[in-house]
Copies of this chain bind each other. A is one copy, B any other.
Amino acid sequence: MDSASISSTPADLLRAAGIKVTPGRVRVLQALHGARQPLCHGEMEAQLGADGAAALDRVTLYRILDSLVACGLALKAVDTRGVFRFSAAGTPRQHANHIHFRCTDCGGVFCLKAEPPPPPKLPRGFRLGEVEFDVRGTCAGCSARERE
């Protein structure tokens, strides 16, 4: 059986990748696998702070993320605001086939029952990376509260 199959624990993945298994790395990798969208450093810090365990140093978190990228367990990309976002590598994207609505009030992300629009035809020589259909507005809850 593949040493990095879908049933591997974070610790297994780290061992298979040849880097030390530390509590911080395990927590970060868990968070990445549980995330439904790529997370930036700040979001990850908040999420790790909320899980009860001791907080991770800011710099250590940066270094952990870099180490995960270096060994291929995570992917790093820049968002439209210029902030780096990280996602677990090798995970099937369960949110790949529908689009999302982001509430600009509460920050919530909602899955919509609509497929992403097909990528457009590109000029010769261009290579397609990601296509992102970003729908923003206010969710039902926040809209209701606003009307009060």
Contact = CB atoms under 8 A, between A and B. Distances in A.
Interface of A: 78-84, 99, 101, 104, 110, 112-114, 117, 119-141, 143-144
Contacts of A132: 80, 132-136
Contacts of A104: 78, 129
A140 B114 contact: no
B101 A122 contact: yes
A112 B112 CA distance: 26
A140 B128 CA distance: 11
A139 B122 CA distance: 9
Contacts of A140: 123-126
Contacts of A101: 120, 122, 126
Contacts of A125: 139-141, 143-144
A137 B133 contact: no
Contacts of A126: 101, 110, 137-140, 143
A62 to B, nearest CB: 14
A117 B138 contact: no
A102 B77 CA distance: 14
Contacts of A122: 101, 112, 135, 137
A81 B84 CA distance: 8
A126 to B, nearest CB: 6
Contact of A84 (B82, B119, B138, B143): B82
